[in-house]
Structure 1
Amino acid sequence: MDDREAEVLDRIGRGLLYTESEAAFQNPRRRADLIFEYNSTRPGATDQRRELLERILGSVGARTVLLSPFHAGFGSNVHIGDDFFGNVNLTFVDDVEIRIGDGVMIAPGVTLTTTGHPIHPGLREDFRRFSRPIVIEDKVWIGSHVVVLPGVRIGYGSVIGAGSVVTHDIPPMTVAMGVPCRVVRPITDADR
């Protein structure tokens, strides 16, 4: 890695702006062909699908179910724990890491995006952007058509209601929903 690449990676790591051209040296880490192959496999080809997931993702736990199709910018920046269930049309915009804990369930049509763009149009040339990691802790359930934005952490055991746009961290053991997503109540023993 040369000095310029190291400087760009430093900016990316700090959530600062960078351009498509500056980050092009990372393109070999993209897994688009493998994702296409995964999405083309038969649902019953479990061994083949598992082998592909292990090649696509940064790490993948035991007993993982990821229904087709799914999409990812890289794939290699996604880390999934044990006992994960991802329903159809899950999209990972993983310019930086997305870390998903154990026992997480994600409904259809969810987007996890680590990347955003500047508000001012003069700053968006060459697809200038910023990226911040997403963390989804253990036992989280994310409802259909949720969008999780850059830098968000969703705490242990939380539930995110369908159609929400998660712009800020969600504390553990809460139900949150809305646009923007807000905590509406704690999860208690009464929910058993």
Structure 2
Amino acid sequence: MATELEKLKAGDWYCFTNEEVAARKARAAKLCQEFNAISATEPEKQTAKMEEILGSYGDNLSVQANFNCDYGKNIHVGHDFLSNYNLIILDIAPVNIGNHVMIGPNVGIYTVNHPMTAAGRRQYLAKASPVNIGNDVWIGGSVTILPGVTIGNNVVIGAGAVVTKDIADNTVVAGVPAKPIKSLKAE
């Protein structure tokens, strides 16, 4: 029989109160608390702590406090990554972010979901689906990205959008739920 952590990694329903699962979250919470306590006047220290949190990262990493995540090691960012204040990434499943990505303030990227049934929620069940974000993406302030979404290259997501479905390359989306409103020229 699979452990809860094995179920989580396989994308199956797992119990999020399980000791192994909770330990991953506790580690991430501690590291995020340490990152958020570093003064903005010490960007080198902030970057070093962020490098400890993330699974992988490219050159020119810039993350503003506050930052919170569920695991950290499932977050992979490319070169020239910039995030503004109050980024939340619930990285139960992998979150892959390309090069030259800018994220506005108060953005949430979520990979975890819960059952639609009360009985399933009472069992503390969750299921995770990865989020993939391409290159040259600008995510506006207060955007929410839901589990399982893939965002293409050269995409702009308008402030306040809720991204529930995949977004094609060279597209501007906005709204709740986010819908295409304009095409961009490929560069």
TM, length-normalised to structure 1: 0.89
Matching residue of 2:114: 117
Q: In the aligned structure 2, how far is the partner of 1:4 from the partner of 1:179?
A: 38
Amino acid at match of 2:126: R
- Residue from 42, 45, 53 that aligns with 1:56: 53
- Residue from 17, 29, 34 that aligns with 2:31: 34
For the Cα contact (< 8 Å) 1:20–1:126, is it kept in 2? no
Matching residue of 1:19: 15
- Residue from 58, 62, 72 that aligns with 2:69: 72
Instruction: State the shift of 1:34 in Å.
Output: 1.5
Amino acid at match of 1:101: G
For the Cα contact (< 8 Å) 2:47–2:63, is it kept in 1? no
Amino acid at match of 2:100: G
Report percent identity of matched pairs. Answer: 35
Q: In the aligned structure 2, how far is the partner of 1:21 from the partner of 1:105?
A: 33
Q: Secondary structure of 1:85's partner?
A: strand
Give the gaps of 5 or more residues in structure 1.
none
TM, length-normalised to structure 2: 0.92
CA gap 1:138/1:91 in 2 versus in 1, 3 angstroms: same
Amino acid at match of 1:4: A
Amino acid at match of 1:156: N
Q: In the aligned structure 1, how far is the partner of 2:21 from the partner of 2:142?
A: 29
Q: Secondary structure of 2:153's partner?
A: coil
Q: Secondary structure of 1:159's partner?
A: strand
CA deviations 1:132-167 (Å, max 9, x no partner) are 000111110011111000000100010111111101
CA deviations 1:51-74 (Å, max 9, x no partner) are 111111111211111001111111
Amino acid at match of 2:134: E
Instruction: State the shift of 1:16 in Å.
Output: 2.5
Matching residue of 1:4: 2
Two-structure CA RMSD over aligned residues (Å) = 1.7
After superposing on structure 2, the runs of 4+ consecutive aligned residues of structure 1 that deviate more than 4 Å are: none
Q: In the aligned structure 2, how far is the partner of 1:41 from the partner of 1:9?
A: 31
Aligned length: 185
Q: Secondary structure of 1:124's partner?
A: helix
